[in-house]
Amino acid sequence: MRALTLAALLGFTLLSPLVRASDDWSDETRRLEVDARADGFEVRSERATGDVRDRIRLRLEGDNVRFRFEFQRDVGATEVDAELRVEIERVIEFQDLDADGVFGGSDVVRAEYGPSDLTLGAVSPENVSAGGVPGLRVTASYSFRDEPSSGLTFRVVTFGDLTAFQGFVQHPVEIKADIVFSDFPFLEPPEPDTLPGIVFRVVAASPTPPTVTADGVSIDAGGLQATFRWKDTAVVDGNETRVGVSVSENPGQAGEQDLTVAFAYARGADIVHDPTFGFLMIEEAAGRILGDMGLYALGAVAAVVTFGGLAWGRKVRKVKRE
């Protein structure tokens, strides 16, 4: 087991126009730790200022390719107050029959890989910084069991204070998790009319339906807004291209919201896309969305973008590789 500890002690004065950092629990300076193991990792972020010692934790359960994003109001508590679970259902190559660039009910899956088809290799933590604010990055690299030259990597980044990273505002209660494909495992011989994609299941305990926009979903979980959001573009073979997103609601257990989120990419071997996990207090959520215009500008696209996937529901075709 490897462990890195980073004391985030720097003061920071970058304020949201509508939310003062001094009044916002999520922008208090935080202390970061990470444990990296052969079967996954755990990133912990604890408040380092103020009277309360809350904890945010992101765990990767490596064999299941499952992320658990948790919040505890008291670091000494044995139960979590809110949790968002995001896990891979499958990596797909599909025929986009309606040519909309989105994985939907009429499309045909030509090949797919589940978590059991992925082998976790190296898990590597390192210290990083952005705008003078220290942070942590953990890289978890998978290979495809039947296509060992192909890889899927997750790069997780979090910071100890409010900062700007890769062109966006990143709050210390947010964790960025890049999806990186190298040499995507397309069928052989190639079928040039197919697209690559990845399908996630997103689950949180909540009595109220999720809010779905063009660039993310948010769920009321334990008095918090648990968010899973993404950029609407990805870098494919060095070019910035549109990401087709479909979101569907699954039949879940009582008091639980269960979603399927599918990302479809332009055809290419090397793909980089960057979703983010986050928590917001309910009373702060409106001010945060209005205040951080650089971060949430993509939400304006919601007026012209609709999620066709909401209509197709959770209809799954399983097509074996030929």
Structural contact between residues 51 and 170, judged by C-beta atoms closer than 8 angstroms: no
Average pLDDT over the chain, rounded to whole? 81
Burial class (CB in 10 A: 0-12, 13-18, 19+), 6: buried
CA 13 to the chain's CA centroid: 27
DSSP letter for 210, please: P
| pLDDT of the residue at 75 | 83
Taking the CA atoms of the chain, what radius of gyration do you get in angstroms?
Answer: 19
Other beta carbons less than 10 A from residue 70's beta carbon: 19
| pLDDT of the residue at 48 | 77
Among 122, 172, 140, 160, smallest CA distance to 5 is for 160
Of the candidate ranges 8-12, 103-107, 310-314, the one whose mean pLDDT is the lowest: 8-12
| pLDDT of the residue at 166 | 84
The total number of residues written for the chain in this structure: 322
3-state DSSP assignment of residue 293? helix
CA–CA gap between residue 57 and residue 312 (Å, rounded):
33
| pLDDT of the residue at 5 | 37
| pLDDT of the residue at 24 | 59
Q: What is the sign of the dihedral through the CA atoms of 3, 156, 146 and 117? A: positive
| pLDDT of the residue at 178 | 96
169-192: pLDDT as tens digits:
898 989 999 999 999 999 999 999
Structural contact between residues 228 and 216, judged by C-beta atoms closer than 8 angstroms: yes
Structural contact between residues 229 and 297, judged by C-beta atoms closer than 8 angstroms: no
126-150: pLDDT as tens digits:
999 999 999 999 999 999 999 999 9
Residue 223: is its pLDDT beyond 80? no
Of the candidate ranges 23-27, 37-41, 126-130, the one whose mean pLDDT is the lowest: 23-27
Average of per-residue pLDDT across 30-55: 89
| CATH code linked to domain 2-312 | 2.70.98
CA–CA gap between residue 114 and residue 116 (Å, rounded):
5
CA–CA gap between residue 95 and residue 138 (Å, rounded):
34
Average of per-residue pLDDT across 146-172: 93
291-314: pLDDT as tens digits:
333 333 322 222 223 233 333 333
Better-predicted residue by pLDDT, 195 or 81: 195
Strands (E), 100-146: 108-113, 118-130, 133-144
CA 16 to the chain's CA centroid: 23
Structural contact between residues 54 and 72, judged by C-beta atoms closer than 8 angstroms: yes
* Alpha-carbon dihedral 292, 165, 214, 258, rounded to 10 degrees: -110
- pTM for the model stands at 0.81
